A and B are shown apart, each in its own frame.
Chain A
Amino acid sequence: MTTSTVGPAAASAPAARQASGPAQAWRRLRHQPVTLAAVITIAIIIVIAAAAPLIAPYDAGETDFTSVLAGPSADHLLGTDDFGHDILSQLIYAARTALIVGVGSVLVAMLIGVPMGLILGYKGGWYDRLGSRVMDIADAMPGIMIGFVVIAILGRGTLILIFAIGLIFSMNFARMVRAITLTERKKLYVESAHVTGLRNRQIVFGQVLPNLVGPLAVQGAVFLGNAIKVEAALSFLGLGLPDDQPSWGGMLRTAAEHQVDHPWMALPPGIAIVITVLALNLLGDGINDALSGARTSRKQRKRALHQAPTLAEVEEAKRAVSSVVTTPVAVAPALAQALVTTDKHPDPVLAVRDIHIVADRPDGEVVPLVSSLDLTVGRGEVMGLLGESGSGKSMLAKSILGLLPAGVRVESGSVELAGEELVGRTERQWREIRGKKLGVVFQNPQANLSPVHTVGRQLIDPLRIHHGMSKAVARDQAADLLDMVGVKDAAKRLDDYPHQFSGGMAQRVAIAIALAGDPDVLILDEATSALDVTTQSQVLDLVLDLREKLGMAVINITHDLGVAAEACDRVAIMYHGQLLEVNDVFSLFDEPHHPYTKALLASHPTADHKVDRLPTIADFVTADGEWIAR
């Protein structure tokens, strides 16, 4: 059997632009209100810390013994502590301490961690084994314990504290940089840089470091928050800064001593820590999301709704939908006539009528995926659904199963299975259909099965649900099913896990699961596409055998002309969300009617025609969804 795929013609669209450029990340960052609030909060804290002598009403060390442990007053807005220090002023000066120690220790952590990670990731071998051991040991030590030990050895002091906290987080940086360097090193461009004779140093500084900037910014912000927490904890214990230097942790130490008589004293420094750390963590999350493009703000969505989109936004939107979505299509009248509908099966088990499937984009636009599609499948018939990637064939299958992804829905139309309407069912109502009347096998053999459950468990569960069997009976039945789909030693293999099966065997297991409830229709959604040609043939033969034995109908979704020709009674051709042509397999391959079908068949390489260049299919639809007359 020769295989050829229809995909490349559709995939020849210009490659998607890199979605993680710094300019784009910055644009996204500006549209995240939470992140923006975090940035403003941090800016305010920095200003307060920098301008402490100007802002603070009293000097850091200034004591007022006439007012000791006093509550808030006009003179002391937040009251005073046991030495008569003004709490507000202490709070402001402590922000300085927190930032100096925090930033200092993150710098120390980076100075130790980044070069270490680069060397381990880049050199590999013994360096890596030794370094990884060091990181393992660091893992066995609670962070704060490292702080204790450093202070026990070196004594107390600001610089020692910065070093101690830096040391705690250095291993996290080393681990992260090592992981990123390892991935970057294996990438093609670094390997090609090697070939073109760039030196190691140039590769590290020119290629690897730029890719580290984003993750380092994220980790830097998060660890800055953590460092401030650790500084506060150590100062709270009296191990941190000298006592005369104001710190939030030190203030809480005093507050804890007076928690019974002056409980309010614990509030200001604690709140200051929470706000600072929270802002830094949110900033880290925000940068992360901006770099990966994971989040869009509500404002952004609104804006897109009410303003005409820019060209760049249109391009981005197209990219965003191109994987799932086809452009809206209007059939040109001349071409519509080419539609061949020998689609009048006398004994239909499944009837799809005038179905419209749409995707709701976040900005409110409704994009059609499948339009006005009619299709009937007869009892015991194998119907091939053939189309290139993005033609809407998988969406059609998912709509029949009621498994459309979030944001995609059936807008109108009907799907009737053995007299029962499938569109608009609730989750509970679907239970009468799924497994009992409809079964499905998806593409990726390994991912179709839960990796942490035995194959037996995944067969026994549906069997018990559909037939109300006891565990023991279901187990026997499961073994019979496995045996039927051609798994040898079936009873023994029930206790195996999916990773112990080859791709072809795993796909047979998935077929057995789909058959557990004796369905009337079995949908194969590219079920053989990931298998090698020999295995593919065997699995298709199995399906045809099972069809004979069990009398079920099969919908075989594929982009493979060979599969369609080998294993189908009738074939339906889909393109850009529309059904172009349905015919019995011989007529379709012998006399294709629609120009697209003709082009499709012409692009199929065969052994008897030797050609220099394989024919390709030019677009039949413009980017705006208009048909091009040919």
Chain B
Amino acid sequence: MGKLVLYRLGFAIPQLLVVSVVVFSLTYLVPGSPAAAILGVSATPESIALVEEQLGLNRPAGERLLEWFGGLVQGDLGTAYRSGLPVTEMLAQRIPATLSMILGGMVVAIVIGVGVGVYTGTRPGTKADRLLTGGTVLGIAIPEFWLGILLTTVFAAQLGWLPIIGWVPFTVDPWGWFVGLILPSLTLGITGGAIIARQTRASMVRALAAPYTDTLTAAGVPRWKILYQYGVKNAMVPVLASIGVVFAILIGVSFVIEKVFSFPGLGSLMLTSTIGQDFPVVQGVVLFTATLVIAVNLLIDILYGLINPQARPA
């Protein structure tokens, strides 16, 4: 177990380092200079030079990179161009809402995905299978933010069963937090659930057609045990990988549907910073999400090694 974690960390840490260098160098890709972008049409060469001086943009790249890493180690992501606030602080305010929504979305996606996938995968070709598998095709095609608009229109605006503006911090009111998360989680989880369901169904069908299924059946192991103990565990090996992919997709989608549910998460911060070309904030959000994705994939790799003995380091 310890060996497995170390082995996987050996992959994750270099990836994280490279990502942070890439994120750092983003500002160098801006045509002209970030200072010109901040100043907009009123920019003059003198004012640009002045802003560059203030923000330290005119210093050598190597020096700035070292400073960037030095800050990262201490949890300092720099200062926002527009508000002048520390980026770390701005992120910290937004992270609870985003994480709550993603957590809810992942729960919905995994429950729907594995549930539907196992159900259909154990009875391929039946009416129920065709209906649900058809449903997953639709689930993948629906734009999540539109689904969000429909759900809020029906359940919040028309029926009034759920609040239209969702976010309540957990520390303020746990029940309100939960109720507020229902619609965003459903919206977020359906596409991911459809992707996981398709993968689960396919690998379930494959697992149940494998020779060991016949060996166990012939040895007298009952069908339910083969389906739900042997079949599911074998099928989960590829499903885990698809859960990792879905996690990255969900983060992106959560950024879009925040707007539908007026969630004060990272998405709205990213949106205003993108429009305002506030690069320290953009860099901070990108780095945070990339770290989150890498961390979750690390976790999934470890789980993968636990389920699949052949993926463990020798």
Please report A residues at the B interface, Cβ cutoff 8 Å. 133, 136-137, 139-145, 148-149, 151-155, 225, 229, 232-233, 236-239, 252, 255-256, 259-260, 263, 266, 269-270, 273-274, 277-278, 281-282, 285, 401, 403, 427, 431, 434-436, 438-444, 447-453, 458, 461-462, 465-466, 497, 499-500, 510, 513-514, 516-517
When the two chains form their complex, are residues A401 and B221 in contact, meaning their CB atoms are under 8 A apart? no
Q: Which B residue's beta carbon lies closest to that of A144?
A: B252
When the two chains form their complex, are residues A452 and B309 in contact, meaning their CB atoms are under 8 A apart? yes
Chain B residues contacting A441 (CB-CB under 8 Å) are: 215
When the two chains form their complex, are residues A148 and B270 in contact, meaning their CB atoms are under 8 A apart? yes
Contact of B248 among A136, A141, A252, A278 (CB under 8 A): A141
A-B contact pairs, 6 of them (CB 8 A): A140-B19, A229-B143, A270-B146, A285-B137, A403-B214, A450-B233
- Give the distance to chain A from B312, nearest Cβ to Cβ, in Å: 9
Q: How far is the CA of A448 from the CA of B218 in the complex (A)?
A: 11
B250, B256, B307: residue with the most chain A Cβ atoms closer than 10 Å: B256
Please report B residues at the A interface, Cβ cutoff 8 Å. 15, 18-19, 22, 26, 29-31, 137-138, 140-146, 149-150, 152-153, 157-158, 164, 210-212, 214-223, 225, 230, 233-234, 237, 248-253, 255-256, 259-260, 270-271, 273-275, 277, 279, 282, 285-286, 289-290, 293-294, 297, 307-310
When the two chains form their complex, are residues B234 and A252 in contact, meaning their CB atoms are under 8 A apart? no
When the two chains form their complex, are residues A237 and B30 in contact, meaning their CB atoms are under 8 A apart? no
Chain A residues contacting B289 (CB-CB under 8 Å) are: 141-142, 145
Q: Which A residue's beta carbon lies closest to that of B293?
A: A140
When the two chains form their complex, are residues A281 and B140 in contact, meaning their CB atoms are under 8 A apart? yes
When the two chains form their complex, are residues B282 and A462 in contact, meaning their CB atoms are under 8 A apart? no
Contact of B137 among A269, A281, A443 (CB under 8 A): A281
Q: Which A residue's beta carbon lies closest to that of B125?
A: A406
Chain B residues contacting A458 (CB-CB under 8 Å) are: 212, 216
Given A137-B22, A252-B145, A448-B212, verify A259-B152 contact (CB < 8 Å): yes
Q: Which A residue's beta carbon lies closest to that of B191?
A: A229
Q: How far is the CA of A282 from the CA of B138 in the complex (A)?
A: 10
When the two chains form their complex, are residues A465 and B218 in contact, meaning their CB atoms are under 8 A apart? no
Q: How many A-B residue pairs have CB under 8 A?
A: 220
Q: How far is the CA of A274 from the CA of B190 in the complex (A)?
A: 14
Q: How far is the CA of A152 from the CA of B308 in the complex (A)?
A: 42
When the two chains form their complex, are residues B211 and A447 in contact, meaning their CB atoms are under 8 A apart? yes
- Give the distance to chain A from B124, nearest Cβ to Cβ, in Å: 10
Given A274-B138, A436-B220, verify A141-B290 contact (CB < 8 Å): yes
For the complex of A and B, 5 pairs with smallest distance between CB atoms: A435-B220, A142-B252, A144-B252, A270-B146, A278-B141
When the two chains form their complex, are residues B149 and A266 in contact, meaning their CB atoms are under 8 A apart? yes
Contact of A452 among B140, B150, B307 (CB under 8 A): B307
Q: How far is the CA of A263 from the CA of B85 in the complex (A)?
A: 39
When the two chains form their complex, are residues A237 and B308 in contact, meaning their CB atoms are under 8 A apart? no
Contact of A236 among B31, B145, B211 (CB under 8 A): B145
- Give the distance to chain A from B132, nearest Cβ to Cβ, in Å: 16
When the two chains form their complex, are residues B218 and A447 in contact, meaning their CB atoms are under 8 A apart? no
- Give the distance to chain B from A511, nearest Cβ to Cβ, in Å: 11
Q: Which A residue's beta carbon lies closest to that of B23?
A: A149
Chain B residues contacting A438 (CB-CB under 8 Å) are: 218
Q: How far is the CA of A270 from the CA of B15 in the complex (A)?
A: 38
Chain B residues contacting A444 (CB-CB under 8 Å) are: 211
Given A152-B282, A270-B146, A270-B149, verify A435-B218 contact (CB < 8 Å): yes
Chain B residues contacting A233 (CB-CB under 8 Å) are: 143-145, 253, 256
When the two chains form their complex, are residues B219 and A450 in contact, meaning their CB atoms are under 8 A apart? no
Chain A residues contacting B143 (CB-CB under 8 Å) are: 229, 232-233, 252, 270, 273-274, 277
When the two chains form their complex, are residues B219 and A137 in contact, meaning their CB atoms are under 8 A apart? no
- Give the distance to chain B from A114, nearest Cβ to Cβ, in Å: 22
Main secondary structure of the interface of B (DSSP, over half): helix
Chain B residues contacting A282 (CB-CB under 8 Å) are: 137
Chain B residues contacting A450 (CB-CB under 8 Å) are: 210, 212, 216, 230, 233-234
When the two chains form their complex, are residues B219 and A514 in contact, meaning their CB atoms are under 8 A apart? yes
Q: How far is the CA of A510 from the CA of B215 in the complex (A)?
A: 8
Chain B residues contacting A256 (CB-CB under 8 Å) are: 145, 149, 259-260
- Give the distance to chain A from B226, nearest Cβ to Cβ, in Å: 9
Q: How far is the CA of A336 from the CA of B250 in the complex (A)?
A: 69
Chain A residues contacting B222 (CB-CB under 8 Å) are: 431, 465
Q: How far is the CA of A514 from the CA of B219 in the complex (A)?
A: 5
- Give the distance to chain B from A547, nearest Cβ to Cβ, in Å: 18
- Give the distance to chain B from A507, nearest Cβ to Cβ, in Å: 11
Q: Which B residue's beta carbon lies closest to that of A154?
A: B31
Chain A residues contacting B220 (CB-CB under 8 Å) are: 431, 434-436, 462, 465-466, 516-517
When the two chains form their complex, are residues B255 and A144 in contact, meaning their CB atoms are under 8 A apart? yes
Contact of B249 among A143, A149, A447 (CB under 8 A): A143
When the two chains form their complex, are residues A440 and B29 in contact, meaning their CB atoms are under 8 A apart? no
Q: How far is the CA of A465 from the CA of B220 in the complex (A)?
A: 8
Q: Which A residue's beta carbon lies closest to that of B291?
A: A140
When the two chains form their complex, are residues A140 and B294 in contact, meaning their CB atoms are under 8 A apart? yes
Q: How far is the CA of A219 from the CA of B250 in the complex (A)?
A: 21
Chain A residues contacting B309 (CB-CB under 8 Å) are: 451-452, 497, 499-500
Contact of A461 among B214, B221, B251, B259 (CB under 8 A): B221
When the two chains form their complex, are residues A434 and B153 in contact, meaning their CB atoms are under 8 A apart? no
Q: Which B residue's beta carbon lies closest to that of A464?
A: B221
Chain B residues contacting A155 (CB-CB under 8 Å) are: 277
When the two chains form their complex, are residues B158 and A263 in contact, meaning their CB atoms are under 8 A apart? yes
Given A144-B256, A439-B219, verify A451-B142 contact (CB < 8 Å): no
Q: Which A residue's beta carbon lies closest to that of B251?
A: A142
Chain B residues contacting A462 (CB-CB under 8 Å) are: 216, 219-221
When the two chains form their complex, are residues A499 and B310 in contact, meaning their CB atoms are under 8 A apart? yes
When the two chains form their complex, are residues B237 and A452 in contact, meaning their CB atoms are under 8 A apart? yes
When the two chains form their complex, are residues A403 and B217 in contact, meaning their CB atoms are under 8 A apart? yes
When the two chains form their complex, are residues B140 and A449 in contact, meaning their CB atoms are under 8 A apart? no
Q: Which B residue's beta carbon lies closest to that of A445?
A: B211
Chain A residues contacting B158 (CB-CB under 8 Å) are: 263
Q: Which A residue's beta carbon lies closest to that of B273?
A: A152
When the two chains form their complex, are residues B218 and A145 in contact, meaning their CB atoms are under 8 A apart? no
When the two chains form their complex, are residues B237 and A465 in contact, meaning their CB atoms are under 8 A apart? no
Q: How far is the CA of A127 from the CA of B215 in the complex (A)?
A: 45
A144, A401, A500, A510: residue with the most chain B Cβ atoms closer than 10 Å: A144
- Give the distance to chain A from B104, nearest Cβ to Cβ, in Å: 17
